[in-house]
Structure 1
């Protein structure tokens, strides 16, 4: 059985407190477009992120607000910024580096929060039954085409509100020469 893959570009999830600091007290993120995962959206807002070696301008903010701010970058981005983020599941920020976020109103400096997101698959509970997997399983996924490869250690995330889709960062997607919506398959 096959499922769609999507490339996740660098982005930032902000806490409500950091949104208010960066954009102004009481500020609400503005919808640019809905993402495939229900309730998630790309916001109109962008920020700059500054590390010890360099900066990346115009990093897209994703909504809604989270409990803690989190920045997801690629390995290539980490070289530009001069940070060494660990590969982590979303929300696992322990011992990750921080950096400065520059908004239109003010700046925020995070002590932790920069990660290379673990490649993962979002699955609705019905999809998990069809694929014979459970939440937090690790699977292997094969891509197709001239640069086909097998992704190891792909985290399965199962929830009744998730839509079926595998997420990799831009570096990983480019290595496999895949684009958004291409089909991949779990190797049993």
Structure 2
């Protein structure tokens, strides 16, 4: 809590340089065809809670993912449905599963890792779809103007605290559908001592 307060003090002083951060645990986005296989035809998903981006939410429903070495249960579905099924894991998860997903921008799935997904009604043996999500910051066009950055630009982000440092290769994503928020996975969060909801300094 003290660390978050310290970040908030800095935010008041230099508010145009700081972005909020959220930590994304492993999860799955589903396309309609695959949702039908895993949960049944035209299944209606139940909202668990809203997440940082407008209109998106985690669901009560969960699946199991299986790799060559092991499986992971209770992988939460994130809605609404997408054009292509995407499973996001951390590098630590990938090692445990025995898969080798690339670090990719969301939606860039060609040639990504194979994985098996099991739901209450069926199973998918995906030839691609598993990735490690790149570090990224969602911004509206107004946010991008304020920070002086462009869509797909790579920036650095500074983290304070006992395990502070610089995160390189953070991708800016700009859309009028986005709310300002930085997304990192659990590996990055653990490495930098981030719990989520802190404010981090953007450095171009």
Q: TM-score per shorter chain, which class? A: over 0.9
Query: Which residue number in structure 2 is paired with residue 173 of structure 1?
Result: 189
Structure 1 unaligned blocks of 5 or more: none
Query: Structure 1 residues 7-16 or 25-34, which shifts more?
Result: 25-34
Alpha-carbon offset, residue 80 of structure 1:
1.0
TM-score normalized by the length of structure 1: 0.98
- Displacement of 1:97 after TM fit? 1.3
Aligned to 1:17: 33
Cα deviation 1:3-22 (Å, max 9, x = unaligned): 11111100000111111110
Q: Match for residue 161 of structure 2?
A: 145
Tell me the equivalent position of 2:172.
Answer: 156
Unaligned ranges ≥5, structure 2: 1-16
Q: In angstroms, what is the RMSD of aligned CA positions?
A: 0.7
1:110 aligned counterpart, secondary structure: strand
Distance 1:20 1:12 in 2: 14
Deviation at 1:160, TM superposition (A): 1.0
Secondary structure of 1:145's match? coil
TM-score scaled by length of structure 2? 0.91
Instruction: Work out which of the residue numbers 51, 69, 73 in structure 1 matches 2:67.
Output: 51
**1:77 matched residue in structure 2:** 93
Which has the higher Rg, Structure 1 or Structure 2?
A: 2
Structure 1 distance, partners of 2:94, 2:23, is 17
Task: Name the count of aligned residue pairs.
Answer: 188
1:125-155 CA distance string (max 9 Å, x none):
1111110001110001001111111010100
Q: Report the counterpart of residue 105 of structure 2 in structure 1.
A: 89
Q: Distance in 1 between matches of 2:61 and 2:165?
A: 35
